[in-house]
Amino acid sequence: MPETPIETKKVAAFFDLDNTLLRGSSSFLFGKAAFDRKFLGRRDIWRFAWQQFRFIKRGESAGMMKHIEDRALGLVAGHRADEMQQMVIDVYDEYIAPKLWPETVRLAKDHIAKGREVWIVTASPIEMAQHIANQLGLTGGLGTIVHRDENGILTGQLDGRPLHGALKAKAIKQLAKERGISLKKSYAYSDSFNDLPMLGRVGHPVAVNPDKQLLKYAELTGWKILDFKKREIRQAAKAKRKAAREL
């Protein structure tokens, strides 16, 4: 079957989740929800909180990601897959929605309005990526797949490897092939130098709240840089409360 000409291919935008669409770590917020439901002890939540603080201040590191992912996987081991799906819903409503960067969400929805596909690409569980994408009206989500046994019980192991670093670039390349997307005409957004492979795959890479390494690279290469502040989240929440009172 001949390849689709680039002029007729779709355009897409790929968004990292943690510190790009969301301020902080979705794994930490998942852990906080687990603590509230007594799946986690107080000592564990303080460890998660410290990682969250470091993540926001310094950006991610391979060791930090491994620690957070291992702890999050430990939380779901032995639970039913449908329990995790409900946890994802609860995490979104209670913790994630209030911490979404308003400007990044606006960018994602602008791409949708222009007829482009928009995908969340994250190391977080695929259920998280897909649910957030559904809530925001985006095309879909790619994420890490947590293994479940024949009875639908989560084992705490992964099917494959976490969707992180170079594997994100591989995933969007495969998605582009399946859906007729031109990566050359597409966009990618991330805060992390670890996502350089994904950013480098597209024609329009954008550094969002970049860590020091990505900031330096983006400045040298002339990539677009966006820097959002915490006050924007507070302002959005204030506006939402005001609108609710006026109803």
Q: Which residues are catalytic?
A: 16, 18
Distance of alpha carbon 107 from alpha carbon 110, whole angstroms: 5
Nearest Cα to Cα of residue 33 among 174, 120, 131: 131
Helices of type H across 96-151: 102-113, 126-136
Cβ–Cβ under 8 Å, residues 210 and 218: yes
Distance of alpha carbon 239 from alpha carbon 42, whole angstroms: 33
The residues pairing with 226 across neighbouring beta strands, listed in sequence order, are 208
CA angle, 30 as apex, 25 and 34 as ends, to 5°?
Answer: 145
12-15 β-sheet, strand order: 140-144, 117-125, 12-15, 187-190, 204-208, 224-226
Q: Is 28 left (phi over 0), alpha (psi -120 to 50) or beta?
A: alpha
